[in-house]
Amino acid sequence: SQTIHQWPATLVQPVGSPLSLECTVEGTSNPNLYWYRQAAGRGLQLLFYSVGIGQISSEVPQNLSASRPQDRQFILSSKKLLLSDSGFYLCAWIDRRSYNSPLHFGNGTRLTVT
Amino acid sequence: RKEVEQDPGPFNVPEGATVAFNCTYSNSASQSFFWYRQDCRKEPKLLMSVYSSGNEDGRFTAQLNRASQYISLLIRDSKLSDSATYLCAVDPHSNYQLIWGAGTKLIIKP
């Protein structure tokens, strides 16, 4: 069966520090991968998506970046965090081999920038 | 007009009651529709996909109304554990880029 792992679960970082969040998917190949952010009490905001290794599309210009070094690995990074980067970060994947395939989320990372 | 819209609620409903909420979408060519449930401080989890013919899973029924461009979720015999935020998602271009509603908060009261 397919699973998605995301870590860490919680993170407290000072303003100006770097960030690296990692996500891996198991049990599938060549998935679409996504990074979302959800601010407190708000909806889901798509940050990045990837259809393959090294292929990253950015939805929102900001100080975050994403990379996909391997087929089932997706990394979200920042060189210098801002207070506004605080939020709930969710990695997700879709199996493109199936029509009408739903999105599956990881457990999320709750980031607090202080 | 937003691409996908939901009533944010909250819907306060007594235990055992039936509750329904809708999600409207703007792109008439949309083909894929989903309902997700999100508990406080947790990730969204798929509740059910919405098919053209409608579908039912226990106490939950989802329907698609293409003419009026909305999907609905009906919860019968509501339980305290149904309290959550319900998100709808639509893939308007069939390219696996889901557009999300902001969610409807449901509170079931004893």
pLDDT tens per residue across span B55-84: 999 999 999 999 999 999 999 999 999 999
The answer to whether residue B25 scores a pLDDT higher than 70 is: yes
Checking DSSP bridges between strand B11-14 and strand B104-109, what pairing results, if any?
parallel
Angle at A110 (CA atoms; ends A104, A111), nearest 5 degrees: 130
At residue A99 the predicted structure's pLDDT band, cuts being 50, 70 and 90, is confident
Per CB-CB distance under 8 Å, the chain A contacts of B45 are: 105
pLDDT of res. A61: 66
- Whether the CA torsion B1, A91, A47, A56 is positive or negative: it is negative
The answer to whether residue B1 scores a pLDDT higher than 80 is: no
User: What percent helix, strand, coil does chain A show, rounded to 5?
Assistant: 5, 55, 40
Whether A101 and B101 lie within 8 Å, measured CB to CB: no
Per CB-CB distance under 8 Å, the chain A contacts of B100 are: 43-44
Tokens of A55: 């292929």
Chain B nearest CA to A31, separation (Å): 11
d(CA A99, CA A90): 23
Report the residue of chain B nearest A37, measured CA to CA.
Answer: B43
At residue B37 the predicted structure's pLDDT band, cuts being 50, 70 and 90, is very high
Element (H, E) at A107: none
The answer to whether residue A19 scores a pLDDT higher than 70 is: yes
| Stronger pLDDT, B20 or A100, i.e. the higher one | B20
The answer to whether residue A41 scores a pLDDT higher than 80 is: no
d(CA B104, CA B24): 12
B81 forms beta bridges with none
At residue B52 the predicted structure's pLDDT band, cuts being 50, 70 and 90, is confident
